[in-house]
């Protein structure tokens, strides 16, 4: 088990919420409480863990439940995918996500819906208790977490039930709220609790600065979420929020990029809000298992399961500067060696991860094709990445939000666009330690086009046979702030950011965003500029079947297809 154990050391109810973190308990035989007697203000550690753990554990499941938030945000993006692995498997709904052939049977949709509402229900239950309501810190923390759950739901589905109470009459079924009502609820809640969560940013706790970050995310995405670009004031509001974080003096960039993705990031100065994982009771970061070929485990001597499913897209790899250390920090390609330096062999063939890949599903990808993600620390034994903490919000994110909004506004409150370039440069400096001049980004570069060679790029040929390339050329010169979009990818790949970014960035001269308007690998651009239904996902069919009050999102069938 990690040496860091996050315990709730409680003298009173107020003390619980002033120091609340994700519970890392050592006793699973706990008494579960639905309500508290109003006169009971002092708890044992065992009681407290039982009472509040469901609020936190549901968010772990949102993020790292199988087919969770990080996957759904990234699998539909231009950075990586999980193709059909020839003679192995995978594919299925992962391919549907990659191709933007969204349907109501994609399992990720159920993972997010169920776990978010489990967390919301846990918050509502506690907020209905008289003892909880007597503590302002407790109420603020619960409202912050409830807003976080709704933020995820709103981002993914937009048309969601807005339930803020615990007790309902028999037979009650929720109905969907108008998106504006949900957006207003989230932002009003967060603004109302600002300054009430405390400055302590212990792992798992929604601090005042985590509230700032969540509000900044709501503001920076507002226009894209509502497809209304008539009011730029939200970008200034986002800057105001991240300025509170940046100017607080509590955070600084970690010296090394990889420091943010270690097993334990509890003392990392860059982390604003982190999700703590625990070896025995809060596991779930399965990226080593999902990416690494089973024979490739010998590189680290980890013996957990591995499938070799996911792969980085070659088009994205081609965007990296050769001196950018994030390339090797994130990806492994070529011949793989065990810890003794011996080349790893598979049935007499060397395990060589190739850069090029064939197809998402026609015919699919072969076992050794594609670079593999090693961004999160991979450890020996049973570990892999399974217990690695997650940086949900970090200082680099706050700096990029400010940079983007300054560029979109042309400056704000006396700070000009050069400040944006300086912020991006500052983040890049740790990735170009051997060539510092390459870390420098100019305003023109950030506002220029993307270096990503967008277009369909698929090889329908079979291994050992004749290639059958299907290639179109779209480029990235027509992307507004395309240079900044590139920097976002290099910094935040595999961190639940990319889908949001692609929806927010638009094409010059078109009423279309990059998410819908560009092709990559086997995913094709939407031909109709006004077709934006894929900006959100369909509601999972079993959710619809269980509640006749719910209506499927526009543009999607009311029944699932496989």
Q: Residues 111-123: pLDDT tens digits?
A: 999 999 999 999 9
Check whether 8 has a pLDDT greater than 90.
no
Residue 550 has pLDDT above 60, yes or no: yes
Q: Looking at residue 10, what is its pLDDT?
A: 25
* DSSP-derived secondary structure letter, 171: T
> b/e map of 104-116 (b: 16 or more CB within 10 Å)?
bbbebbbbbbbbb
pLDDT of residue 367: 95
Average pLDDT, the chain: 89
Q: Residue 138 — very low, low, confident or very high, per pLDDT cuts 50/70/90?
A: confident
In the chain the domains, ranked by start, together with CATH numbers, are: 1-188+532-562 (1.25.40.390), 198-280+387-445 (1.25.40.10), 286-379 (no CATH), 448-526 (no CATH)
pLDDT tens per residue, range 410-424: 999 999 999 999 999
299-320 average pLDDT score: 94
Report the chain's terminal Cα–Cα distance, integer Å. 41
Run of H or E residues at 137: helix 136-157
Among the ranges given (36-50, 76-90, 337-351, 384-398), the one the predictor scored with the smallest mean pLDDT = 36-50
CA-based nearest residue to 510, from 526, 523, 521, 498: 526
User: What angle, rounded to 10 degrees, do the helices at 45-64 and 107-127 form?
Assistant: 150
What is the DSSP track for 354-421? BS----SSSS-B-TTBS-EE--S--BTBTTBTTT--EEEEEHHHHHHHHHHHHHHHT-BTTB-HHHHH
Rounded Cα distance between 160 and 182, Å, is: 8
- pLDDT by residue (tens digit) across 421-471? 999 999 999 999 999 999 999 999 999 999 999 999 999 999 889 999 999
Q: Given this model, what pLDDT does residue 104 score?
A: 96
Residue 134: which pLDDT band, with cuts at 50, 70 and 90? confident
Cα separation, 12 vs 6, whole angstroms: 17
Q: What is the CA radius of gyration of the chain?
A: 23
Whether 295 and 222 have beta carbons less than 8 Å apart is answered as no
Confidence band for 50, pLDDT divided at 50, 70 and 90: low
pLDDT band with cut points at 50, 70 and 90 for residue 37: very low
Q: How far apart are CA 472 and CA 2, in angstroms?
A: 49
Tokens of 288: 């080593």
Q: How confident is the model at residue 4 (pLDDT cuts 50, 70, 90)?
A: very low
Q: Is the predicted pLDDT of residue 26 greater than 90, yes or no? A: no
Looking at 204-261, list the stretches that DSSP marks H as alpha helix, in order from N- to C-terminal side: 208-220, 222-226, 233-246
Q: Cα–Cα distance between 510 and 162 in angstroms, integer?
A: 34
């Amino acid at each position: 088990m990690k040496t860091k154990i996050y315990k709730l050391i409680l003298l009173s109810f107020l003390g619980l919420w002033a120091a609340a973190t994700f519970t890392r308990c050592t006793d699973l035989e706990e008494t579960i409480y639905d309500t508290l007697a109003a006169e009971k203000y002092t708890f044992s550690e065992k009681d407290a863990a039982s009472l509040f753990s469901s609020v936190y554990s549901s968010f772990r499941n949102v993020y790292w439940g199988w087919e969770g938030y990080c996957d759904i945000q990234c699998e539909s993006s231009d950075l990586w995918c999980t193709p059909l692995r020839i003679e192995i498997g995978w594919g299925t709904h992962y391919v549907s996500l990659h191709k933007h052939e969204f349907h109501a049977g994609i399992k990720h949709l159920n993972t997010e819906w169920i776990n978010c509402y489990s967390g919301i229900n846990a918050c509502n239950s506690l907020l209905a208790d008289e003892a909880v309501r007597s503590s302002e810190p407790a109420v603020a923390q619960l409202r912050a977490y409830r807003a976080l759950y709704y933020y995820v739901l709103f981002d993914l589905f937009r048309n969601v039930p807005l339930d803020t109470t615990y007790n309902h009459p028999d037979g009650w079924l929720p109905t969907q709220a108008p998106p504006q009502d949900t957006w207003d609820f989230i932002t009003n809640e967060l603004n109302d609790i600002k300054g009430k969560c405390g400055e302590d940013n212990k792992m798992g706790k929604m601090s005042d600065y985590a509230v700032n970050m969540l509000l900044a995310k709501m503001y920076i995405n507002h226009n894209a979420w509502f497809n209304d670009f008539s009011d730029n004031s939200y970008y200034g509001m986002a800057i105001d929020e991240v300025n509170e974080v940046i100017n607080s003096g509590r955070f600084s960039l970690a010296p090394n990029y990889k420091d943010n993705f270690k097993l334990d990031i509890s003392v990392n100065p860059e982390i604003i809000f982190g999700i703590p994982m625990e070896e025995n009771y809060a596991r779930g970061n399965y990226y080593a298992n999902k990416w690494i070929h089973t024979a490739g485990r010998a590189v680290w001597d980890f013996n957990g399961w591995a499938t070799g499913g996911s792969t980085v897209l070659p088009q994205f790899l081609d965007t990296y500067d050769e001196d950018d250390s994030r390339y090797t920090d994130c990806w492994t390609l070529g011949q793989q060696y065990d810890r003794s330096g011996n080349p790893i062999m598979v049935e007499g063939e060397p395990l060589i991860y190739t850069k090029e890949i064939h197809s998402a599903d026609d015919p699919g990808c072969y076992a050794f094709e594609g670079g593999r993600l090693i961004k999160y620390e991979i450890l020996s034994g049973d570990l892999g990445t399974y217990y690695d903490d997650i940086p949900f919000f970090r200082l680099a994110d706050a700096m990029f939000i400010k940079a983007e909004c300054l560029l979109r506004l042309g400056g704000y409150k006396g700070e000009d666009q050069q400040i944006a370039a300086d912020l991006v440069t500052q983040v890049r400096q740790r990735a170009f330690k051997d060539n510092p001049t390459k870390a420098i980004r100019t305003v023109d570069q950030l506002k220029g086009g993307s270096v990503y060679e967008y277009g369909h790029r698929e090889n329908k040929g079979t291994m050992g046979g004749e290639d059958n390339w299907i290639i179109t050329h779209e480029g990235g010169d027509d992307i507004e702030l395309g240079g900044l979009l590139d920097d976002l990818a290099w910094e935040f790949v595999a961190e639940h950011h990319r889908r949001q970014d692609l929806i927010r960035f638009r094409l010059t001269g078109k009423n279309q965003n990059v998410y819908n308007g560009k092709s990559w690998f086997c995913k094709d651009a939407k031909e109709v500029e006004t077709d934006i239904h894929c900006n959100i996902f369909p509601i999972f069919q079993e959710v619809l079947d269980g509640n006749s009050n719910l209506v499927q999102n526009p543009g999607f069938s009311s029944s699932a297809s496989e």
